Structure 1
Amino acid sequence: MSGFRTCRLTRETPLRGSNGVAFGPDGRLYAAQFLAGEISAVDVATGEVEVIVPAGGPVQAPDDLAFGADGSMYITDLVPGRVWRRRPDATFTLVTDQVRLPNGIACVGDRLFVNEMVPDGRLLELGAAGPVVLTGGLAMGNAMQLGPDGALYYPHMLTGEVFRIPPDGGTPELVAAAVHEPVAVRFDRGGVLQVLSRGAAGIVTRIDLFGTGDRTLLTSGLPALDNAAFDAENRMFVSSYAGGGITELHPDGRTREIAPRGFAGPYGVTVDLGGTVLTADHYRVAEPRQPAGEVTTTELLTFAHGITADGDLLHLTSQFGQVRTYDRTTRAVRVRADGLAEPVGIAVRADGVLVVAEAGAGRVLTIATDDTVSVLAGGFGHPVDVAADSAGQWYVSDEERGAVYRLDGATPVLVADGLDAPQGIAAGDGCLYVAETAAGRLVAVDLGSGAVRKAADLPANPGRPGDLPALRAHGLPGVPRPFAGLAVAADKSLYAAAGGTVLHLTPAEES
């Protein structure tokens, strides 16, 4: 074969994950993108998206935002634990770094309030003299807003409750209990409280606090809602932490796409026995759908990064330390290992034993069917992915050393080096295919001669391990490191998860 023909399976999305949203002074809807590290402005009339705060600046992981009376944008920077002010002239000032995972944010005149997305979190006012605690005991706070009665309303994500408190402090008052997975509270122009659910059904709980007191549910079908904003005409626009994009949600449940949804990653990719392509997309397992190029959510499984299909089972890694098995029939999740140092690539042996690249520890592990964890091989720099050939021989890619190794017992044998950030690997037809991500290409390594040749172009990786924020902050998960995954289908074609999409690579005939 001379190479591969490449077909992109999903359309591009300008918002790879969308979190806090707020209308700015210019009438555009501003969206924070936690995973992308960006803030963009969306024209809700045309769908045009402009990046306002690009990645690589002082803000690393923007999660929510609000506008002050002078037009300044205030931003919660979740992972580093900072709050920023971006003035209308685009200059930045650090407001505070004395908060733990700041998330919800609200401006009340010239006053600024934030809350913490941690168990036993705080709600604080940020003033010139430093943070002032209004109340503690928040069971993971999130998006909040000033209500028509002058109180601040906020959710407890862990307990399914909504509280309010006067801006000058006092005793929090329970407003609503048994709310479906609350992630954000917003008031429409008529003063009706809208509580968004982060669950798969896209539920919005509407509570007419200052009128009839009625409580109704709207099921939107938009999974992983994150935040909402209402324009001057009382139209509701919602974001999704998993699917991204911006969608108008009508009162009767109809939806209109403003900015297209898509992948937040994707990271690992696998093909099951039925030929279904599945990806690990940080907050979910997702499936690229043709011919529309859409992405559908198979299951909300938080912190899914590496993935491999095994009959009705999906085995998943989280860069935050876990290996899990998800049963697609029963929807049960079983933790196979915990406390690992950045497990990434995963595959399964014929005997059901899992093989895992533990990147942070420089090792390749096995996890037996009884969940016993053993070291298969060690001494690597930053191993990312594992794969086996048809003879059952195992291989591992080492991003840090730019190399691929064969695992002969506990002794790694160099197969190819001089590669530029090799990540995903897959074996087929006497070759080992490797995503050489910093070079933006797929290479084929001949397992007989060791010769390396280019097989296809791939999107370049946006960063290396040392260039990105810490995986954990304040003891809780932060931003995962991107990596390109590869999988081989039964027809010998390849699937690559890279650059915000899934590519289908079909063999091209010799010329």
Structure 2
Amino acid sequence: MIQVLRTRAVKLTLAATAGVVVSALGFFAWQSFYPVQAADGWQVQVLHDDLDKAASLLPLADGSLLVSRELDDGKGSILKITPQGERQVLIDGLSKPDGMTAVEGGWVFSQEGGLAPVNLSRDGQLTALFEGENVQGLWNEGSHLYAIEDRKGEGRLMRYDWSTGQVQVLRAALTEGEGLTRCEGGRLLYTEKAAGRIRALGDKGEDPVVAEGLRHPTFLFCDQRGLWISEDSTHRARLLRIDADGQQHTVLSFLKAPQSIVPDGQGGYLLAEGGRDRVLRLSPSAQ
């Protein structure tokens, strides 16, 4: 009798364990495949798929789109997608190509996979501008190019002078600085991903916090609608917007590792969703 009870207890324990495992697997599958949800007033659709680790986006004047594929160990690349949907690898052999920004007559890109140059691509030629370690965010304006490193406690915010080729370190000892953008009013913003904060670069070495309590903020973008923030989380990530009154709005939810957000030139936006290897188009519902 005792042996029978023990056998039943073992079977019940195994059944309960199996139930927990199945429930956990089901929960993770639900998180991975649950469709992206758009807030009222917005609609979202898949524009391009089958783009491994899509990270940074750069629309070109001819209607083409550059996409960086953030693969490590020399497997990363930058791809051009024409308005007709044709794809061409422009640069390969990269390690986690991440940030991209337009410059006069070309574009600049960074690599987050260790020590590597920030490169300028112009007229089919590559020129190394300066070196950094795990450089992610880039922001170009006028005579300066800004770059930030995604490192733990050793990251730098740097400014490259186009006329002299000199690099100035504006901030050091940063932890997981990722995104850069300039907003209305002239503030240059940068993220502290692990801390869930966004700071504004100050003139006197003090950088005030402009947003906090975020979940892994990464790429940033500012326009007339406010500050856009993508969350680099594997599950249930969001695309957020902070309006001129400082109110936070969730525009997209149930994303998987969203990255760069850029305007699409039609009143909407393009968003790289690296966790699902695709590019989304976000549009106001009225369109």
With structure 1 as the length reference, what TM-score do the two structures score?
A: 0.42
| 1:96 equivalent in alignment to 2:133 | no
Residues of 1 paired with 2:184 and 2:88: CA distance?
32
Q: Which residue of 2 aligns with 1:192?
A: 226
Shift of 1:52: 4.3
Q: Identity across aligned pairs (percent)?
A: 20
Name the structure 2 match of 1:38: 77
Q: Quick check: 2:228–2:242 contact (8 Å CA) kept in 1?
A: yes
For the Cα contact (< 8 Å) 1:143–1:227, is it kept in 2?
no
Counting helix residues as a fraction of each chain, which structure ranks higher?
2
Aligned match of 1:122: 156
- SS of 2:54's partner is coil
User: 1:71 matched to which residue of 2?
Assistant: 105
Distance 1:250-1:232 versus aligned 2 partners, 3 A rule: closer
Q: Secondary structure at the match of 1:242?
A: helix
TM-score by length of 2: 0.73
User: 2 CA distance for matches of 1:21 and 1:160?
Assistant: 23
Name the amino acid aligned to 2:139: A
Name the aligned partner's letter for residue 39 of structure 1: I
2:214 is matched with 179
Task: Return the alpha-carbon distance in structure 1 between the equivalents of residues 121 and 270 of structure 2.
Answer: 23
Shift of 1:129: 4.3
Q: Deviation per CA, 1:404-430, whole angstroms, max 9, x where unpaired? A: xxxxxxxxxxxxxxxxxxxxxxxxxxx
DSSP 3-state at the match of 1:233: coil
Would you say 1:204 and 2:239 are equivalent positions? yes
The residue number in structure 1 matching 2:144 is: 111
Moved segments of 4+, more than 3 Å? none
Considering only aligned residues, what root-mean-square deviation do their CA atoms show, in Å?
2.2
- CA–CA distance in structure 1, aligned partners of residues 61 and 205 of structure 2: 32
Q: What is residue 172 of structure 2 aligned with on the other side?
A: 136
**1:51 partnered with 2:88:** yes
1:231 aligns with 2:231: no
**What are the superposed Cα offsets for residues 421-443 of structure 1, whole Å, 9 maximum, x if unpaired?**
xxxxxxxxxxxxxxxxxxxxxxx
| Aligned position for 2:54 | 18
Q: Which runs of 5+ in 2 are unaligned?
A: 1-47
1:217 to 250, 253, 256: 250
Tell me the CA shift for residue 206 of structure 1: 1.2
In the TM superposition, residue 242 of structure 1 has moved relative to its aligned partner by 2.4
The residue type equivalent to 1:53 in the other structure is L
Q: Please give the alpha-carbon distance, in whole angstroms, between the structure 2 residues aligned to 1:233 and 1:169.
A: 39
Query: Which residues of structure 1 form unaligned runs of 5+?
Result: 1-11, 253-511
Q: Offset at 1:28? A: 2.5
1:149 corresponds to: 185
Counterpart CA distance in 1 for 2:142 and 2:63 is 19
Q: Distance in 1 between matches of 2:278 and 2:257?
A: 12
Show the counterpart of 2:9.
none
| Matched ranges for 1:404-419 at <5 A | none
Q: Mapping of 1:326-345 within 5 angstroms?
A: none
